[in-house]
Amino acid sequence: MPIHAPRGTKDILPDAITGWRYIEETIRTLCRRYGFEEIRTPMFEHTELFQRGIGEGTDVVDKEMYTFTDRGERSLTLRPENTASVVRAYLQNKLYGDSSSQKLFYIGSMFRYDRPQAGRQREFHQFGVELLGEASPLADAEIIMLAVDFLSTLGLRDLALHINSVGCPKCRPVYRQALQDYFEDKRSELCDDCNERFERSPLRILDCKIDAGKPFMEDAPNISGCLCDDCRTHFDQVKGFLNAAGIDFAIDPRLVRGLDYYTKTAFEVKYAPLGAQSAVAGGGRYDGLIEEIGGSPTPAVGFAAGLERILIALEKQKLLPNVDKRMDAFVVTLGEETRQPAFRLLAKLRKAGLRASMDYAGRSMKTQMKQANKANARFALILGEDEIKENVVMLKDMEKSEQQKVSFDSVIKKMCVEVGI
């Protein structure tokens, strides 16, 4: 019986790779423009990093992590997100000593044990950016601008930016108490998960998909009335900078994000045609995370975008580029003695920058010409005994069905001119 890929994982086949490369090239071009540098972190970390960074009591830590014990009896976890890993790398490698702030981006696989669904597998891919060491609300606005710019550059339309402030350690306890007071007499109507969240993290109740449609959720208190002066001023300035940049947004008092490390600004960019799982990018400020992981108090802000969901959105709007799979040349050999000169020619074609291939098995000329057609080759270069003796190649233009003898010395130059390189 054949072995299949584990549930929740997916092979990315050659036909799909063009879309992935298009997104990744857009990411790298845009991040260079914004001054962000790439970082690559390990796919697994010590479990404690995520317990401390993401927060125990969150669904990610309690239910979704892939955790295992290695042969040294150490508890390790496949990364469920990458912000904690970037922060760990920032501290371990003393990147904070290089400048007042660090602007980093990453592209990679993340792992969460969840029910596989459209746009979210158990192994999924994220692009993210982190701006470490900057407390200004201008940094929040730049991160949001980059997220919107990225999605817009890909050509996506019908995007909606939602923002909120989730407060800070000074004012969030006030909001936490207000939520507990409100939900106290409604606990019997809350799902089991929300009853657990009631004590540990009542803000997570607002993020619950099960209880979201219940009537009493609409009247839950908003955080805006609990914000301290510093958080309110910070949020007002973020909104001002977004307005200055011409970025439309909606204030969403129910937006709390799913990770405990967020402070002050939180945001999501949604693409409505995806339905219930409409968020394609999201993030915010996390001023307490670096200290929680063992560093000095350091402000930071960032976001992550799910690449699978973005690919679905691009497909829906027919925005993925067409794949050019044409070969420039296919070398056809007639007889065993022609194969070595043909292979030498093949090497020269490729060194000149031409896309070239040949038959490996010495099949008939008819079969090789069919291969050339299947490869959508512009030219077939036919080598037989007579051509070898004359030091020429029979060059056939597959589009025009015309052929001519061309010397070995000039055939590559001629082809480069014809294909425009």
The answer to whether residue 324 scores a pLDDT higher than 70 is yes
Residue 250 makes CB contacts below 8 A (sequence gap 6+) with: 160, 161, 162, 163
Q: Is the pLDDT of residue 281 over 80?
A: yes
Per-residue pLDDT at 409: 87
> Would the pLDDT of 58 be above 80?
no
Q: Are 362 and 336 in contact (CB under 8 A)?
A: yes
| Among the ranges given (22-36, 203-217, 391-405), the one the predictor scored with the smallest mean pLDDT | 203-217
* Domain extents in the chain: 14-171+227-316, 329-416
CA atoms of 394 and 404, how far apart (whole Å): 6
* Residue 98 pLDDT greater than 70, yes or no: no
Domains 14-171+227-316 and 329-416 belong to one CATH topology: no
Of 2.40.50.140, 3.40.50.300, 3.30.2450.30, 3.30.930.10, which CATH number belongs to 14-171+227-316?
Answer: 3.30.930.10
Residue 268's closest CA among 237, 321, 309? 309
Burial of 71 (0-12, 13-18, 19+ CB in 10 A): exposed
Residues 330 and 149: their CA atoms lie apart, in Å, by: 42
Q: What is the pLDDT of residues 235-269, one digit of tens each?
A: 999 999 999 999 999 999 888 765 667 899 999 99
CB-based burial, 368-387: b 16+ in 10 Å, e otherwise: bbebbeebebbbbbbbbeeb
In CATH, what class is 329-416? alpha beta
Closest CA to 86 of 303, 358, 305: 303
Q: What is the pLDDT of residue 27?
A: 98
Task: Give residue-wise pLDDT tens across range 205-232.
Answer: 887 778 877 888 888 888 888 899 999 9
pLDDT digits (tens, 9 = 90+) for 103-113: 999 999 999 99
